[in-house]
Each structure stands twice: as structure tokens, then as C-alpha cells.
Chain A
Amino acid sequence: MKILVCISHVPDTTSKINFTDNNTKFDSNGVQFIIGPYDDYALARAIEIKEASGATVTVLNVGPADTEPTIRKALAIGADDAIRVNAEPTDSFFVAAQIAEQAKAGGYDLILMGRESIDYNSGVVHGIVGEMLGMPSISPVMKLEIEGNTAKLAREIEGGKEFLEVNLPFVAGCQEPIAEWKIPNMRGIMSARTKPLKVVEPSAVDSGVKLQKFELPAPKGSVKMISPDNVGELVTLLKNEAKVL
């Protein structure tokens, strides 16, 4: 079985978000980058499947050269090889088109992604890729079991979950508790250095969206503290001041 895992390279979840160049560029100064947390779940599940029943796991990232440490980390976690499409991931449609092209060429049985990237939070790349490849796409997936040519999945819905069955190949956007995040060990880190990482150039895609500018939310006002002996005051404030009750 051949599994493709698409990973985004995103600011660490504790990062302060800032912009430069008149609010048109992300300020990466002092920011640590990680594998998208949801993508990390997808990767962990792919490695589990590989360990349980044998599979090759390829990781794919659409990004410039500075994403390579993130890709190497995925190799250290246990992926066999990697592809980097050498381009700025400017929008979902562009990224999806690059992924679809690589997926077609590679002939994968299973394409795993995160439910959403934590930079753009679009939650759409898996759906677009599924449509481009003519495959089902399912998200957000919280459980995935493969039995021969079929998969049994659980998908989170508002207030619960639903259970599904689908034949391979398909695309899934993953989230917890599909697997537990894996931390690379020393041997993984050593072997990752020599695993193949292929760099390919992007194909031209006419993108229908264009970023104009970024904006930061207005800063929060200061907190009003209320005595634990006067809980009634909180209720009054919520009613009359905040007007939310």
C-alpha cells in the first residue's frame, strides 16, 4: 500500500502573529515552525498503518526550501521518502492543484491530510484534491481502519460522530483522536538525513484569489476582577454592562 501524507509547515501554536511590509507579509522573525498539528495526526496514523500491515509513506509539502527541516522531521517520525513542490503555498487552490498532480503521478492508495492548516485554517485542500482526482474526500476524520480494499472511518459532526465506509483510494482530512502524535527518536533523526527528498517545480495554476493585506485584531481591554464573595455582581455586570445575558 502507498500512502501520501500532505504536511503544511506552520508557525508553532504558541507563536505571536505579526506582519511586515505594510501588513502584506508574515513576520517569521523569532517564529518556530512545525508540522501542522492536524497533519501530524495524519502522519502518525500513516506510520501506524505502515507498522501494522506494511506500507510506504511519502510526505509531501508545497513550500520553499526553508520548509525542509519540517519535512526532515516527518521523515524522522517514520515516513520513507518526501516530495517538496518548490513554491510559496499562496492559496488553497494552488496548493491542491500541486498535490493532485503529484498524487496522480504517484498512484497512492490513500491520501491523508490534516482537517485544516493552522495558518490559513481553510479546511478545504482535501476536498479540492478529492474533486480534482475524482476520489471521495472525507473530513474531519477521527478514526481510520483499513481492511483490504475498504476503510472504516469515524467523522466528527456537530454534537457527535458518524461512521462511514469507503473503498480505497480516497482523501481524508484527519484530526485527533485518530492517533497520538509521534516524537522522532535518535535513530529516526539519523536515518532521516539520508532518506530521499525530491524537489519538483510547480506547474502553473491560475489562482482565483489574491491576498490584499493582513490585519491584527483590536487588542483586548483589561480584565475586571470580581470578589469570590460577590458572585451576584458578576451576573449584574454580564446583564447591564456586557449585555450578554
Chain B
Amino acid sequence: MNILVFVESAEGKIKKTSIEAVVYAHAMGGAVTAIALGSVESSELEALGKYGAKKVLHASDSKLNQGIIQAYASVLVSAMKDEQADILILANSSLGTPVAARVAAKIGASLASNVVELPNTSSGFVVKRSIYTGKAFAHVELKNAKKVLGLKKNAAEIKEVGAAVSVTPYSTSLVDADFATKITSSEKATGEVLLPEANIVVSGGRGMKGPENWGMLEELAKTLHAATGCSKPVSDMNWRPHHEHVGQTGVKVAPQLYIAVGISGAIQHLAGVNSSKCIVVINKDPEAPFFKAADYGIVGDAFEIIPKLTEAIKASK
């Protein structure tokens, strides 16, 4: 069984969720080829061998420096053919998921996104996927010989299983139609911990009163090497950028630790955080519904507790 893994990068570095995808593919027991598109540091690519890739392809055509959904899908389809891979695995993301859809449609593959654990192959090929925004799971059988799997964060635990490999350049034959959409510019926070990838998230709600009070949350986040998030009203009021909005209609996070400050815990917010391993809630209202979904809670004023918490963490280091 040959498996192709599409690995995504940000600022030249392979994303952690993509490394999880390589580990996942290796754990399935196939021959794993990883492929990266656009500019990525070569040491990063070589290191994929450590996580289970037998072979690493790099399509470094500068036209692929931008994540164009159609062009990426075309490259992955031809790489699957060249590598005689029946299975494509990638991490769900704003690029990965739409690309997976187009690849599956092109090659007639069975498709499942938001897969949370290794497939069960005792009879057929059955994957467990997260549905109803984390409120349930479905076990679905993928019947076609060709399969495309989009993984939810934490579908595999990163561990080293091998040694670095050398990188094989992969040349592409892209056509104009692949570039029918043109990316004219982008705005991106650099050097920050990305919210969907973060191990720890510090999130603030309307209880923070205004954007001017975010400094203390950023300070806490910095101390924990965490990403910052927020509730929907906070991004609706432009206190924080939209890509920080967590919940049913925003980013779904799955960190080790989610710290919610001044967020009431509306069911739509919880839908975006219910895959977190541990939830801490800080709210001045003991009746706030978030406490029911929390592992640890503190009832009190965020403006007093947050600086104390930041100090306590610094002191414990």
C-alpha cells in the first residue's frame, strides 16, 4: 500500500498537523511518500524521514508558493499517479480541506475529513470522524480503492520512528486553468503561534470589556507560548481579528489546554473547544454555563486573576 501525504508549511516550516499526518500514514503500515509544494526549508523536508516518510518529494515551482486550491489539487493527483499511491492523507486546514475535495472528485476516491484516529481495517476500511461540530462521531466505511483522508488535529501523536531522508525534486506540468484564481495579496500575522496549531490557547470574551484590555491576555499567552483566541461577539465588534474567533462559526481548536476568560460558554462557543484536552474557565459569574464544560474553574474578576496567574506561571518555571 503506497500512501501519499501532502505536507503544508508556514514560513518555510512544516506545520505540526502535517507532521501528524506523516506519523499517521506510517502507523497505517504503508510505504509513505510525503510531498511539499512551494518554498520550504530543505532541512525541514529531510526531517520528515524521522516521522516515517520513506521518500520526500518537493515541487518547488515558484508558482506554487501561493496556496492555489486547483493547482495544488492537480499536483497531488499527478504525484499519486507517479507514486502509484491509492491513498492521500493530509491535515484539515483552510487549504488542505478544499484541496482534498477536488483531489477526491478528480480521481473518484472515497473521501473523509475530520478523521480523528487510525482506520479500523479488520473488515473493510473504516474511519472515525468528528461530526456535529465535535458533539458526536461517525464511523464510515470508505469503499473505493482510492481514498482521501483529511485529519483533525491530534489524530496521531508525533513521535520519531526513523532517520532523515534526502529530498527528491518533483517537477510539475501545470496548465493555465490551474491558476484561474489569482492571489493578489495576503495579510498574515508572522511569528505568532497559529491558533489551529497551538498546544495552548488563551481566549477572551465580552467579559474583557474592550480591546484595550487584551494586553494582559497576550502577556499570559506569551508566558505559556500560547495562541490567543476570542468569542464571536469580540471579533464581531472588531476587538480582535476574525481569524481568532473560536466556535461553531469560527476556528475549531483542539489544544492540550484552553483557558477561557470572561466567556459565558454559550453552546456555539463550546462547539469550537470541545476537543480540548483540558479546559480552564475564569469567570466572575459562578453560574456561567462554561463551568459545566470545564476541568478547572476560578470564580472571580479576570482583571485581578489574570496578572496573578501570569506571575504564578513565571514563578513556576
Interface residues of A (CB under 8 A from B): 11, 13-14, 17, 19, 37-38, 91-93, 96, 118-128, 130-132, 136-140, 142, 155-167, 170, 173, 175-177, 208-217, 220-221, 223-228, 231-232, 234-239, 242, 244-245
User: Beyond A155-B94, A160-B187, A165-B181, is A215–B137 a contact (Cβ under 8 Å)?
Assistant: yes
- Count class of interface residues, chain B: 35 or more
Complex alpha-carbon distance, A245 and B282, angstroms: 17
Does A228 lie within 8 Å of B304, measured CB to CB?
yes
Does A158 lie within 8 Å of B196, measured CB to CB?
yes
28 examples of A-B residue contacts, CB within 8 angstroms? A13-B248, A38-B249, A121-B113, A123-B97, A127-B69, A127-B97, A130-B70, A130-B101, A131-B102, A140-B94, A157-B94, A157-B186, A173-B98, A208-B108, A208-B109, A208-B111, A209-B143, A213-B139, A216-B136, A224-B296, A226-B298, A228-B298, A228-B299, A228-B304, A228-B305, A235-B309, A237-B296, A238-B257
Q: Does B114 contact A (CB under 8 A)?
A: yes
20 A-B pairs besides A118-B133, A165-B184 with CB distance below 8 A are A119-B131, A119-B132, A121-B130, A123-B98, A137-B98, A138-B98, A161-B186, A161-B187, A162-B187, A164-B182, A164-B183, A166-B181, A224-B297, A228-B299, A231-B305, A231-B312, A234-B309, A238-B280, A242-B295, A244-B200
Stretch with Cβ within 8 A of A (4 or more), from B26-34, B156-164, B270-278 = B270-278
Closest chain B residue to A220 by CB distance?
B293
Does A127 lie within 8 Å of B293, measured CB to CB?
no
Does B243 lie within 8 Å of A159, measured CB to CB?
yes
Provide the main secondary structure of the chain B interface: mixed
User: Beyond A17-B132, A159-B243, A208-B111, is A136–B140 a contact (Cβ under 8 Å)?
Assistant: no
Contact with A along B117-161 (1 / 0, CB 8 A): 000000000101011111111111111100000000000000000
Does B312 lie within 8 Å of A17, measured CB to CB?
no
Contacts of B197 on A, CB cut-off 8 Å?
158
Cβ distance A100 to chain B, nearest Cβ, rounded Å:
9
Does B316 lie within 8 Å of A239, measured CB to CB?
yes
Complex alpha-carbon distance, A126 and B104, angstroms: 12
Cβ distance A212 to chain B, nearest Cβ, rounded Å:
4
Complex alpha-carbon distance, A58 and B98, angstroms: 24
Contacts of A156 on B, CB cut-off 8 Å?
94, 242-243
User: Beyond A96-B105, A124-B98, A237-B296, is A19–B280 a contact (Cβ under 8 Å)?
Assistant: no
Q: Does B67 contact A (CB under 8 A)?
A: yes
User: Beyond A127-B105, A208-B143, A209-B141, is A139–B98 a contact (Cβ under 8 Å)?
Assistant: yes
User: Beyond A93-B111, A166-B181, is A221–B143 a contact (Cβ under 8 Å)?
Assistant: no
Partner of B110, one of A125, A128, A209, A242: A209
Does A11 lie within 8 Å of B296, measured CB to CB?
no
Contacts of A120 on B, CB cut-off 8 Å?
131, 138
Complex alpha-carbon distance, A103 and B279, angstroms: 44
Closest chain B residue to A237 by CB distance?
B296
Q: Does B112 contact A (CB under 8 A)?
A: yes
Provide the main secondary structure of the chain A interface: mixed
Cβ distance A131 to chain B, nearest Cβ, rounded Å:
4
Complex alpha-carbon distance, A239 and B312, angstroms: 12
Does A211 lie within 8 Å of B249, measured CB to CB?
no
Q: Does B192 contact A (CB under 8 A)?
A: yes
Count of A-B residue pairs with CB < 8 Å: 271
Interface residues of B (CB under 8 A from A): 10, 66-67, 69-70, 73, 92-95, 97-102, 104-106, 108-114, 126, 128, 130-144, 180-189, 192, 194-197, 200, 224, 236, 241-243, 248-249, 256-257, 267-268, 271, 274, 277-278, 280-281, 291-301, 304-305, 308-309, 312-313, 315-316
Does B309 lie within 8 Å of A210, measured CB to CB?
no
Contacts of B188 on A, CB cut-off 8 Å?
157, 159-162
Complex alpha-carbon distance, A96 and B87, angstroms: 21
Complex alpha-carbon distance, A128 and B184, angstroms: 25
Cβ distance B107 to chain A, nearest Cβ, rounded Å:
10
Partner of B138, one of A128, A155, A214, A234: A214
Contacts of B106 on A, CB cut-off 8 Å?
131
Cβ distance B132 to chain A, nearest Cβ, rounded Å:
5
